[in-house]
Structure 1
Amino acid sequence: MTRNVQDILARQAQQPFVDFPSLIARHAGERPDAPAFVCGDDALDWGGLARQADCVAAACAAMGVGADGKVALLASPGLRAIQAFFGVVRAGACVVPLATSATAATLMGMLGDSDATVLVADADARETLKTVEAELMAAFSQRLVALDFQAPGWLGWDDWLAGGGRPPAVDLRADQAFNLIYSSGTTGKPKGILHHHGMRSRQANRRSFGLGPDSVMLLSTPLYSNTTLQPMLATVANGGLTVLMRKFDAAEYLRLCAAHRVSHTMLVPVQYQRLLAHDDFARTDLSSFVLKQCTGAPLDARLKSQILAQWPGGLREIYGMTEGGCSCVLDAHEFPDKLGTVGRPAPDHDMRIVDDDGRVLAQGEVGEIVGWSPYMMAGYYKQPQATEAFYWRDESGIAFHRSGDIGRFDQEGFLILLDRKKDLIISGGFNIYATDLESVTAAHPEVADVAVIGIPSEQWGETPLALVVLEPGSALDPEALRAWVNAQVGRTQRLAAVEYRSELPRSALGKLLKRELRQPYWT
């Protein structure tokens, strides 16, 4: 075992495990009337959250769902969804938050794979689920719970809670399943990412975010995303207030910032872009901010500079993945000369750069990023082969996670992210990083969005194509844009062509869906 991993494990062993139901009960005992969650016009205090979690736990027990059982949650952010989430955890079961944006077929696949025996859903998911009504009724007979609607075969929220008795006595373990999150499926069939209680507890109790009882965290991303769950759980652990948005809207987000004196947030890059471009941004009081965080995709250096100049408080970019292990942190307000990086390895992380043969490379060399930390998934659910394929093992056999990203560490230990390994374009034997070309193209004042992909080429094997969304009103000729870009890049990097699009496909968290863009050219 490497020295770094030994030291980290020794420190972690000294920290006691405290489960989330116990933390919520503690907050309820000390500050029962203090607000824990706000969504729209509704608020939930710590006393109410503890009581409702008990009721949900009792309802789960009445359905035979207890330790190591699984309950699927298909809902937009809301107070009942939060009560259901923590109530399932209180019951000792594993909560399975599912993507409300998924197709009915994908949802049924995830439900079947997860082994969930109860499905809790809200009205936002109702239309999608109607198309698989018969399958749902067969798979979840008498086990469909409606948060905020009425329909045949569905048990209403109040009726579900009324059917429970006393909450069960549950002794939660650190190695017990906490949540099962499904990957986005942008690279194939979604995989279930299993997190244990111990990992979530360690992760939430880190002190690096400056959270406390007076903190106000504003979140505007979906409940099925780790982008939401990680900061939400950290706020709960520290007794702060979490303000939820059912759906992101720039004007409403800014209003909530001022109304609640928000101190913390987690956003994805596209949300920062929309907020800074909104007419209300300059006149909104954002002086209460302590720390803004960004994850989900790389944050452009120019946008980082703009945020630092116009938005009070610190800016932290987090590079990582739901599986954990490979995480870097850039406190941009402390290192304004490092905005072209994604920061240094986060505390308690051991990260390396390896080549295609798995050999560790020297500092400054380019290869795949791998990492280990105490904040890693337990594995892909029911997929031991996929889990093992995700590992890179060091000389002592310790399993590091493969990021699938290509990068290098500079002399100060800051990670320079170059590209996704699968997005690397190999043209005539030369490696071309799509992100380099995207960065140059995006700098043109008439370009609103861009994605660079590799397309087939008889001469070179593949060659780079830029798919571009222009700013409204632009009449820029695609050949003129191609020449402008190619004049700024190396001879082996030049774009073969530029094509215009009205929009580029993105996930609910703003990630470019390059697989969809490449498919027509390669099939």
Structure 2
Amino acid sequence: MMMKAIDGEGTLDIDLRLRKTALSSPDRTAIADTYRSVTWGELDRRVNRIAQALLTRGVAFQDKVALLAPNSAAYVELMLGILRAGACVVPLSTYTSASTCASMVRDSGARLLFVANDYAADALALADEMRLCTSDIVRFDDAALDGFIEGAPDTPPPVSMSLDHGFNLIYSSGTTGTPKGILQSRGFRAREAEVIENRYALNEQTRTIISTPLCSNTTLFLLFTVLACGGTVKVMEKFDATGWLTLAQTWRPTDVILVPVQYTRLLRHPDFSRFDLSSLRNKFSTSAPLSAVIKRDILTRWPAGGLTEFYGMTEGGVTCELRAHERLDKLDTVGIPPAYVDLRVIDDDKVLPQGQVGEIVGRSPSMMSGYHNREQATLDASWFDGEGRRFQRSGDIGWIDEDGFVHLLDRKKDVIISGGFNVYASDLENVILQHREVVDVAVVAAPSISWGETPVACVVLSSDVDPEIIQQWANEKLGKVQRIAKVVVFDELPRNPIGKVLKRELRERIAENHGETLA
């Protein structure tokens, strides 16, 4: 295989790193799930066969190949085979509607779609909408994958690649229309893996449990880092607290990434304290802000591995790290940007002084190539400094304190403007979450006769406490313009597959069920 394997800074493509491990440690386990385990030698041969079979099916250099399936070891093998064939992976969420999936396949221009049996009927029915022939839709489970690669040679394919080429096209979790496709290069992934590996001492002894969807950047950045450094990945088909705790106790992972809602569910498990979780060297959190209350609970009840929170974007550019176990005084922040990240706070086109509130933008060596087929959207998400360098807009409002730590306040689009004042949901959520009966909370805007907009708290409670008691308790601690106008109780807050609260859906539910304009 021919490849421009190394960039100007000595970064090695992830696929070449996988091949090196297969040569040096062919008998060690690379990937496992509930049903099967694959050694590095077996993985390398299967990835070669997948790549060869893709080329035989007409997949050409830099074509897109889409996947729609739940987590499995075979899913990981397929992604690696697509990459070895010189193509670009398009992982799709099984949590979106069939029509939304079809629109993403069409937008990506995917040459093939691998689909799990549970989703095959919908995919075949929408083949025309996806602009695919039915023969381009490959039913996908372990047995079908064996059929797909049958007869394919297990030697590396003759493909030329570069770190500038596309690695994956990830679609954002949009709520209306076709989500935006975020294109990341092979260099983006290679540099990201290199940074995480070096900063957190990952190596061939690293063992991780993958329990978030394989279509998510939250999952992929640690998955590919562990594989790149020759570690071992255990794929959990679907997360549940009991299953994760049991697996962690028996399988003994060293490094894991979980999203905030998973940490919450684990800590709430009635038998949490009975499980031996001492094998952890690093615990990571990302995808959504982790409240200071939950961080402190994690550090108190689950000290093994400390806790590092990553704040960032699939688009790249904006990155912060908080090693919470080292900075107990900064648990209300998302940490500081690493040295390789240039982070600014802006108001329109003006850079604001330290301590002032504005939109967070960032620039780093790992940034997306752009939104696929959306030049204007890429431009709208960009900010350029006086030297013409592109920064990625985060859409988040925040500020940087005197120690360089970043405080997040709200999404720019979700700021509540009450009586002309900006009210930031995170400030209110952090107060409400301190009430002993509140399990989960999200604050959104509702129309108000007096204020234009006013905050409404959507809460999950651990008992039948009167929501007006929660409202009164919180308002005693909040400023006048911050006061909660209503507390609405939910059995569960709506979230996307990686745990982010769907505030748009909450606003719609409140408008539907509590449609009156508040005083």
Q: TM-score, with normalisation over the residues of structure 2?
A: 0.93
Give the whole-Å Cα distance in 1 for the aligned partners of 2:411 and 2:172: 16
Query: 1:161 maps to what in 2?
Result: 149
Q: Which ranges of structure 2 fall in alignment gaps of 5 or more residues?
A: 1-5, 513-519
Instruction: Letter of the 2:162 partner, please give it.
Output: R
Q: Report Cα offsets for 1:261-289 as digits up to 9, x if no partner.
A: 21000000010111112133212221211
- Note if contact 1:118-1:140 (Cα within 8 Å) is conserved in structure 2: no
Query: 1:79 maps to what in 2?
Result: 73
1:330 counterpart = 2:322: yes
Give the whole-Å Cα distance in 1 for the aligned partners of 2:33 and 2:60: 29
Query: 1:4 maps to what in 2?
Result: none
- State the Cα distance separating 1:128 from its structure 2 match: 4.8
Give the whole-Å Cα distance in 2 for the aligned partners of 1:411 and 1:133: 54
- Note if contact 2:102-2:130 (Cα within 8 Å) is conserved in structure 1: no
Query: 2:82 maps to what in 1?
Result: 88
Instruction: State the secondary structure of the residue aligned to 1:317.
Output: strand
- State the Cα distance separating 1:133 from its structure 2 match: 5.1
- The correspondence of residues 139-178 of structure 1 with structure 2, limited to 5 A, is 139-148=132-141, 156-162=144-150, 164-165=152-153, 167-178=156-167
- State the Cα distance separating 1:77 from its structure 2 match: 1.5
Give the whole-Å Cα distance in 1 for the aligned partners of 2:343 and 2:121: 44
Give the whole-Å Cα distance in 1 for the aligned partners of 2:211 and 2:498: 10
Query: 2:368 maps to what in 1?
Result: 377
- The correspondence of residues 196-207 of structure 1 with structure 2, limited to 5 A, is 196-206=185-195, 207=198
- The correspondence of residues 481-492 of structure 1 with structure 2, limited to 5 A, is 481-492=470-481
Distance change >3 Å, CA 447–CA 127, structure 1 → 2: farther
1:274 counterpart = 2:265: yes
Query: 2:246 maps to what in 1?
Result: 255
- Note if contact 1:123-1:149 (Cα within 8 Å) is conserved in structure 2: no
- State the Cα distance separating 1:503 from its structure 2 match: 2.1
Work out which of the residue numbers 70, 75, 84 in structure 1 matches 2:64.
70
Q: TM-score, with normalisation over the residues of structure 1?
A: 0.93
Work out which of the residue numbers 13, 16, 21 in structure 1 matches 2:10.
16
Query: 2:399 maps to what in 1?
Result: 408
Give the whole-Å Cα distance in 2 for the aligned partners of 1:137 and 1:96: 14
- State the Cα distance separating 1:202 from its structure 2 match: 0.6
Query: 1:122 maps to what in 2?
Result: 116
Distance change >3 Å, CA 279–CA 126, structure 1 → 2: farther
- Note if contact 2:292-2:430 (Cα within 8 Å) is conserved in structure 1: no
- State the Cα distance separating 1:16 from its structure 2 match: 1.9
Instruction: State the secondary structure of the residue aligned to 1:102.
Output: coil
Identical counterparts, % of pairs? 47
Query: 2:219 maps to what in 1?
Result: 228
Distance change >3 Å, CA 310–CA 68, structure 1 → 2: same
1:28 counterpart = 2:22: yes
- State the Cα distance separating 1:247 from its structure 2 match: 0.3
- Note if contact 1:70-1:96 (Cα within 8 Å) is conserved in structure 2: yes
1:500 counterpart = 2:508: no
Give the whole-Å Cα distance in 2 for the aligned partners of 1:453 and 1:133: 36
Q: Report Cα offsets for 1:461-498 as digits up to 9, x if no partner.
A: 11111122221xx2322222211111100011111112
Distance change >3 Å, CA 500–CA 522, structure 1 → 2: closer
Instruction: Letter of the 1:157 partner, please give it.
Output: L
Query: 2:466 maps to what in 1?
Result: 477
Query: 2:437 maps to what in 1?
Result: 446
- The correspondence of residues 131-142 of structure 1 with structure 2, limited to 5 A, is 132=125, 135=128, 139-142=132-135
Give the whole-Å Cα distance in 2 for the aligned partners of 1:291 and 1:521: 39
Instruction: Letter of the 1:197 partner, please give it.
Output: R
Query: 2:516 maps to what in 1?
Result: none
- State the Cα distance separating 1:372 from its structure 2 match: 0.3
How many residues are matched? Answer: 503
Instruction: Letter of the 2:134 partner, please give it.
Output: S
- Worse-matched range after superposition: 260-269 or 301-310: 301-310
Q: Report Cα offsets for 1:166-219 as digits up to 9, x if no partner.
A: 652112101101100000113653000000011111111111121000110111
Query: 2:415 maps to what in 1?
Result: 424
- Structure 1 runs, 4 residues or longer, greater than 6 Å off: none
- State the Cα distance separating 1:380 from its structure 2 match: 0.2
Q: Report Cα offsets for 1:2-58 as digits up to 9, x if no partner.
A: xxxxxxxxxx96522422221111111000011111111411111111101100111
Give the whole-Å Cα distance in 1 for the aligned partners of 2:230 and 2:214: 19
Give the whole-Å Cα distance in 2 for the aligned partners of 1:187 and 1:443: 34
Instruction: Letter of the 2:506 partner, please give it.
Output: L
Give the whole-Å Cα distance in 1 for the aligned partners of 2:255 and 2:118: 27
- State the Cα distance separating 1:323 from its structure 2 match: 0.6
Give the whole-Å Cα distance in 2 for the aligned partners of 1:490 and 1:133: 52
- Note if contact 2:112-2:132 (Cα within 8 Å) is conserved in structure 1: no
Query: 1:8 maps to what in 2?
Result: none
1:214 counterpart = 2:236: no
Instruction: Letter of the 1:259 partner, please give it.
Output: T
- Note if contact 2:361-2:393 (Cα within 8 Å) is conserved in structure 1: yes
Query: 1:101 maps to what in 2?
Result: 95
Query: 2:446 maps to what in 1?
Result: 455
- Note if contact 2:52-2:152 (Cα within 8 Å) is conserved in structure 1: yes
Give the whole-Å Cα distance in 1 for the aligned partners of 2:214 and 2:82: 14
Give the whole-Å Cα distance in 1 for the aligned partners of 2:120 and 2:276: 38
- Note if contact 1:103-1:128 (Cα within 8 Å) is conserved in structure 2: no
Q: Which ranges of structure 1 fall in alignment gaps of 5 or more residues?
A: 1-11, 151-155
Give the whole-Å Cα distance in 1 for the aligned partners of 2:140 and 2:240: 23
